[in-house]
A and B are shown apart, each in its own frame.
Chain A
Amino acid sequence: MLITCPYCGPRDVIEFTYQGDANRTRPDPASTDQAAWNVYTYDRVNTLGDHAEYWQHSGGCRSHLKLVRSTLTHAISSTAFVRDHGEKKSASRRKPGAAT
């Protein structure tokens, strides 16, 4: 499986660490609603098809990426930084092969 890091370009999956399901919503940090925290912490949808998830380019730029990956084919239909890096990782500084 190849993941195209928006900064580093296409890299083998071994450079990345799976960081979990990106479909869940973290409750307000001050919330003491245990049911909501329970859903966030434990409940997962076992999606057949496109699945939004976080991957960290841990063996590269260490950015967290949000991917949409098909659980059927591993085809990745979308890749983006989770965090808006603004000008810091601007196009001019990106490495060859990186998506624009």
Chain B
Amino acid sequence: MSPRRANAPGRVDRSRSIRFSFDGKIYTGHPGDTLASALMTNGVTLFGRSFKYHRPRGVMTAGVDEPNALVTLIRGEIREPNLPTTLVEIYEGLEAVSQNRFPSLSFDVGAVNQLGGKLLGAGFYYKTFMGPVIGPLKGTRFWMFCEHFIRRAAGLGRAGTAKDTARYERMNAFCDVLVVGSGPAGLKAAREAAGDGGRVILLEMDSLLGGSARWSGGRIEGAEAAHWVDETVSGLRELPNVRTLTRTTAWGYYDGNTIAATERVADHKRDAAKGEPRQRHWVVRAKKVVLATGAFERPIVFPGNDRPGVMLASAAARYANDFGVLPGERIAVFANNDSAYANAALLRDAGATIVAIVDVRAAISDEARRLASQCGGDLLTGHAVVATEGGKGLTGFKVQKFDAATNSLSGDARVISADLLAVSGGWSPAIHLASQAGAGKAEWDATLQAFLPPKPAQDWTAVGTAAGDFSGGHGLDIAPAPVFEIKAAGKAFVDLQHDVTADDVRLAHREGFISVEHLKRYTTLGMATDQGKTSNVPGLAIMAEALGKPIPEVGTTRFRAPFSPVSIGAIGAERIGDLRPDRLTPMHDWHVEQGAKMYPAGLWHRPAIYGAPGETVEQAYIRETKATRSAAGIVDVSTLGKIMVQGPDAAEFLDRVYTNLFSTLPVNKARYGLMLREDGIAYDDGTTWRLAEHDFLMTTTTANAGKVMQNLEYFLDVYWPELKVTLTSVTDEWAGASIAGPRAREILAACVTGTAVDTETLPFMGIVRGEVAGVPVMICRLSFSGELAYEVYSGAGHGQQVWDALIEAGQPFGMVPYGLEALGTMRIEKGHVTGAEIDGRTTARDLYLDWMLSKKKPFIGAAMMDREGLVDENRIRLVGLVSLDGRPLNGGAHLVEHNDPAALRDSIGHITAVCFSPSLGKYIGLALVKGGKKRHGTRAYVSDPLRGRFGPVEIVSHHMFDPEGKRMHG
């Protein structure tokens, strides 16, 4: 394999070498090479096997539009599949492997699929594998048999399974003008915007600024194009208000003129520099965006157009002049427009021989004719390529006479020998970003035979070839003849990456998929990683012809982000892992020191149990519960949501929010309150303390604190602006400890100063202020456990100090700390509801909280809760359960009327909470069952096939322990 070097090295630095491997073989390239150009220099023509038919494929383009030459890069354990070799810059030690071949690239078993072309047409999988089994080789069961083999044979690269260890970064940036693309149009736009003094950001996908002007010759503003680029770029680099980003692909256009872009910071290096991320995700908000995104050359669809050695003319010229490698030595050109003649001349200047130029047009411009004669070789106007020859590389092709007006072939085929066929089927402006931020559809330009950007829906303008202005190039009229396909025998590919042929498009049409969206889905045209950059317009043209309609009437699909594949890691950037904050109460460290097993409750961490050595969870909560019910227990309640409701209208506000009255609540008293949603469903509960005439402290459940606050603010701002009320979240300002149990009063009396705590001074639901360990505290006598209980609140900063004093005071009385498990056990015994019962489906009546529904005033949800379906007595309603087989119950298990594990019956409800009740000596639970109270004293059965738990339970009142409340009122 002799190096096929062009006369000039272009961007490639031939003085230094880089070693890399492709499919295990070591090759040498140079700085500036892409994997495509380096392999081409080494004589490699075969890069991969195709998606469906496993046909040999080579390099077709020189950029982001590459459909064929995809590889998987391997870095240690990390595999990154489906990277176009045309974009991968080589580095020392780069390891690439080809894709979709078995056992090797040159000998591929799957290539036998080529023989079955008719079988594997559009819709093959649906037709073969979906639906009922008719015959032996059809239907879903057949699919299940074949799936393993098909999954192995089809598709592109294989994703890795190793964790991505690379680091990614996110940057937010702002500017007055963002220019996407640094070709001549982009450079001019950046220069102009910079001159106006605004902040300018210029994004370029390539590693170098300047686009094709760096290598395509011609003159710009009187200077040689390459020289003009150098001057303009160095001028921009000197300006402090211009930031240029290379290797940066703008891929998404979002609201508020926001552009998403990915900068490949270290992908081209073996090792990232210290502190350097692999990629950087840019979110740029620009006042104005200039889209100088250029244009993509289109192929022509003809039989054998996928053979390695068939390449876009502009790509061939770029390899020769920008990368210093001749993609072929004996090159032929096949075109429907004049631009190919300029590229042919560039190839010849770089050292290639032009053997022939085939043009579908009968007549061409004088300038084209001049360039053709300069190139030498045959000029075959009014001809078309009808077949290609060769194996892993092109050896020749066949031409026939062609009439562009009727799209018909005539005469005998003639063979021309060549190792590269440079094709040009016209140019499509890169309108992807414009389309994302466009009002309406892309506009068809009949002269260019291409879609132009739609009208802007945001503040952008398109310039240069992206806007369809090709005047700045080589001065040739690039308007093509409207020839997209040469119809002759053999597979002619439209979408090379997904192996969609022209016949597949026509098949889709015959089967009724006539809208462009349906065509796309049925044939998967344009749905591969290249998103149809080369296949979009040819596919539409073939569909339009089948429909007998002009192309603009067939229309095009709107382009969506991303423009080219983006690493998910880059978008996530630093935001990986568990990003939730931890909320810790002031007494957190104490709990941990005491051996508490912490349990997440939303963002909070709360003790589940304080396990003694060797204790199980059940043993621990039973011990804690028993100690609390017989002596005393203390629990950290700092996590409860706390909202200060203050102002002259605070009481009125609470009356509107809660179902029960708060305006009648005396100062220094608390009341249990229930809130509904607007639709009448129960929402949240808690106690609210009246600290002064206009001063209430509302508590909410731990889980709903944020939502309740937001809901209250909404009503105040939107519906009741006349109320003079201020809401302040004070959850984090207060530390709370609840002491419960028959000895609770004695413990308080032992440590509280400045107030008495006897029944007279501190009755049930009363509030007093005093001091504990010299710290001011607020004490409210209220109970969740059903015991005589007090909540002691102090400033959060003093929480631990107060807690220590309470623990010390409780010592002589046998007080224990208890966790969520014991808290839950005591509330289940009492039948108090929590989020498991207030589950967004239950009403106050379902929970037997009717007594809280005031008839004296309207409140949120007052009218809606009376809807017919919500007052039905047979809704699932709250009951207690006792396990009759002495085994634990499971939360979430269903209840049925008849015990029959073999035949599952209709559910009459489900279990919401379970525990072992130390007070009753039984496994108990709470449940929501149809009819609720009506079933008290009856038997039902747990039916939990998932966990294999079946067995009898008795339905009882949910007030299972101390139903009269003697203990807490005592």
Interface of A toward B, CB cutoff 8 Å: 1-2, 17, 19, 26-27, 29-34, 37-38, 40-42, 54, 56, 58, 62-64, 73-74, 82-84
Contact = CB atoms under 8 A, between A and B. Distances in A.
B675 to A, nearest CB: 14
B710 A17 contact: yes
Contact of A1 (B255, B679, B718): B255
A54 B710 contact: no
A33 B863 CA distance: 7
Closest 3 CB pairs of A and B: A64-B717, A29-B858, A74-B255
B864 interface: yes
A91 B439 CA distance: 36
B107 interface: no
A30 B721 contact: no
B713 A34 contact: no
Given A19-B710, A29-B656, A54-B718, 9 more contacts: A32-B862, A32-B863, A37-B678, A40-B678, A41-B864, A62-B713, A73-B458, A74-B256, A82-B717
Contact of B678 (A2, A34, A41): A41
B463 to A, nearest CB: 23
Contacts of B285: 2
B714 A83 contact: no
B374 to A, nearest CB: 51
A2 B719 contact: no
B710 A58 contact: yes
29 contacts: A1-B256, A2-B285, A19-B710, A29-B858, A31-B863, A32-B863, A32-B866, A33-B863, A34-B866, A40-B678, A41-B678, A41-B864, A42-B679, A54-B714, A54-B718, A56-B710, A56-B713, A56-B714, A56-B717, A62-B713, A64-B718, A73-B439, A73-B457, A73-B458, A82-B721, A83-B716, A83-B717, A83-B721, A84-B721
Given A19-B714, A41-B679, A34 B867 contact: yes
Given A1-B256, A74-B255, A34 B721 contact: no
Nearest to B727: A62
A30 B858 CA distance: 5
Given A17-B710, A19-B714, A56-B713, A37 B721 contact: no
Contacts of A27: 863
A26 B713 contact: no
Contacts of A56: 710, 713-714, 717
Contacts of A64: 713-714, 717-718
A26 to B, nearest CB: 5
Contacts of A1: 255-256
Interface string B860-887: 0011101100000000000000000000
Interface string B343-382: 0000000000000000000000000000000000000000
Interface string B233-266: 0000000000000000000000110000000000
B193 to A, nearest CB: 21
A10 to B, nearest CB: 9
Contacts of A29: 656, 858-859, 862
Interface in B672-719: 678-679, 710, 713-714, 716-719
Contact of A34 (B458, B716, B864): B864
Contacts of B862: 29, 32
Contact of B717 (A26, A40, A63): A63
A100 to B, nearest CB: 20
Interface string B70-99: 000000000000000000000000000000
Contact of B863 (A34, A58, A62, A73): A34
A42 B859 CA distance: 18
Contacts of A32: 862-863, 866
Given A29-B858, A63-B717, A82-B718, A37 B710 contact: no
B648 to A, nearest CB: 16
Contacts of B457: 73
Nearest to A1: B255
Contacts of A34: 863-864, 866-867
A30 B717 CA distance: 19
Contacts of A17: 710
